[in-house]
Amino acid sequence: MITLHKCLIANRGEIAVRIIRACRELGIASAAVYSDADSHALHTRLADEAHHIGESSPAASYLNTHALIVTALHAGCDCLHPGYGFLSENADFVQQVLDSGLTWIGPSPSTIRAMGVKTEARALMQSAGVPVVPGFQSDTASEDDLIAAAHEIGYPLMVKAAGGGGGKGIRVVRSANSVADAITSARREALNAFGDPRLFLERYVEAGHHIEAQIVGDTHGNIVHLFERECSVQRRHQKIIEESPSPLLTAETRYAVGQAAVAAARAVDYVSAGTVEFIADRSGQFYFLEMNTRLQVEHPVTEMITGLDLVRLQFMIAARQPLPFAQTDLRQHGHAIECRLYAEDPASGFLPATGTILKFAPPFMPGVRIDAGVESGSVISHHYDPMIAKVIAHASTRADAIARLKNALRELVLLGPETNRAFLLALLDHPDFAAGRIHTAYIDAHLSELLPAAPDLPDAALIALALEQAAAPFGRAVDSDQGASMADPWSTHDGFRLRQRAQEPQ
């Protein structure tokens, strides 16, 4: 066993905040890093130390491997936690971290490499006896080879980026005449996002449910699963709502998914926390999709139903301690469900929204957890992911957890950029969600009927707004220094609007 003293947190937002708090509980000092845009961010101010690592663009800061390692060494850190996204699954970076003498809070570079290229992961899983979706993979395939293979697999099928993740470089192809186009655009997106143009093909599982299993492995060869999460509520392959237990799985399938996940993890000697993703059809037949060799955004769902702290476990495992439990000690308690609050505008095609969070006040309620990297006054910029917070509810039954989550979403005070809150509430209210019938293509197919109409203005809202206007005319907030400048209608980006108005009489 080794003892860890100070951790560099190579991330931002809610996950950096989450890791800082875990460090504090473990008696490990936390060193945050920040870009220009995050100089006043919550994680920057909450950590024991904070170090500037570059300009706002991710490439100059949170993806700046050299600056991160130099900062970690200079600050006297002995370990580095990558969070999720950014460099968390970059095996070359992990190797650099290890070579510089730091402990990496995560799996080994060889594990990440084995799973990072989706085509290699598929082959490895096939040999480990884990079921994979029928498909085609070849690193040397030309466009024509891919098209020929696509015709053989049949439609619908998916074109996927071999080096991908996060929903990028994925196309669903429904007919032969659009396959060439899909391959071209997926390749461009894959090259831009991952620097890797390789693609592979998979049969598209219609109305598939996204089931993933959380696994943890220690350095002593123990690997267990922490049950499944269902993340079928997705829009354009981005998860929106995640829960555990899955409403789809029977006890037998749940057991089989857990066994397959452990087999998958064992095939790559998995150490630390990871996730094995499967797609399941309505009959409960499931296939390996990919393995995420990092902490997941939705890890709190698992934490709430198991009572475990996954970040704490990651630190324990990195310190070479054995897992403090065996598979038979673990149970799913009750039901947990998470939704992701995004700064985006559902009414205009979910375009990202930016701006200042004027007020953020999470509610204090039993069974509710809110993981947020923002607070009142935080700025949502175009540089980073538009997630504002994760709201997670835990209760004894699924219906109770849904009711609790809706209540928390309504009571959370969040004023500022447009968000998807009303859309989330509409989803949670939907009878198909209550019945567990949502599959991964459901949202995109039913979007128009799921978008809530703008509500009528209640008299109480009109009265409150009129009182506020009377108290603070011309948009200038009372009792608030920052409100005054933000409210000034002439302070921001108005040039285009004036021009536009001037053109109207033509």
Q: Which two tokens stand for residue 139?
A: 């690193």
Indicate the pairing of strand 103-104 with strand 49-54.
unpaired
Q: Which of 418, 261, 267 is nearest to 330 (CA)?
A: 261
Active site residue 294: yes
Q: Residue 430, interface with other proteins (CB under 8 A)?
A: no
Would you call 289 exposed, middle or buried from its count of C-beta atoms within 10 A (0-12, 13-18, 19+)? buried
Q: Residue 421, interface with other proteins (CB under 8 A)?
A: yes
Catalytic residue among 187, 229, 254, 294: 294
* Interface characters, 378-417, with other proteins (x: CB under 8 A): ----xxxxx----------------------xxxxxxxx-
Q: Residue 419, interface with other proteins (CB under 8 A)?
A: yes
Residue type, 199: L
Q: Residue 90, interface with other proteins (CB under 8 A)?
A: no
Count CB atoms within 10 A of the CB of residue 427.
Answer: 21
Q: Residue 476, interface with other proteins (CB under 8 A)?
A: yes
Binding segment for other proteins (CB under 8 A), chosen from 271-279, 392-400, 430-438, 454-462, is 454-462
Binding segment for other proteins (CB under 8 A), chosen from 155-163, 310-318, 347-355, 434-442, is 347-355
**Residues 21, 9: Cα–Cα separation, whole Å:** 11
- 404 contact partners, CB below 8 Å, separation of at least 6: 365, 367, 368, 393, 394, 395
Cα distances (angstroms) measured from residue 151 to each of 44, 161, 199, 287: 52, 19, 16, 21
Q: Are 80 and 104 in contact (CB under 8 A)?
A: yes
CB of 220 to other proteins, least distance (A): 37
Q: Residue 331, interface with other proteins (CB under 8 A)?
A: no
Cα distances (angstroms) measured from residue 191 to each of 164, 233, 294: 10, 27, 22
End-to-end CA distance of the chain: 77
CB of 83 to other proteins, least distance (A): 15
Count CB atoms within 10 A of the CB of residue 135.
Answer: 19
The helix (run of H) or strand (run of E) holding residue 216 is strand 209-217
Binding segment for other proteins (CB under 8 A), chosen from 99-107, 118-126, 209-217, 455-463, is 455-463
Total of residues contacting other proteins (CB under 8 A): 70
Q: Using the minimum distance from each CB to other proteins, give the nearer residue, 27 or 455.
A: 455
Binding segment for other proteins (CB under 8 A), chosen from 31-39, 216-224, 225-233, 355-363, is 355-363
Q: Residue 470, interface with other proteins (CB under 8 A)?
A: yes
The footprint of other proteins on residues 145-174 (CB under 8 A) is 166-168
The footprint of other proteins on residues 178-217 (CB under 8 A) is 189, 192
Site residues for other proteins per CB under 8 A = 166-168, 189, 192, 348, 351-354, 358-359, 361, 376, 382-386, 409-416, 419, 421-422, 425, 454-455, 457-472, 474-480, 483, 486-487, 489, 492-493, 496-497, 499-501, 503-504, 506
Catalytic residues: 294
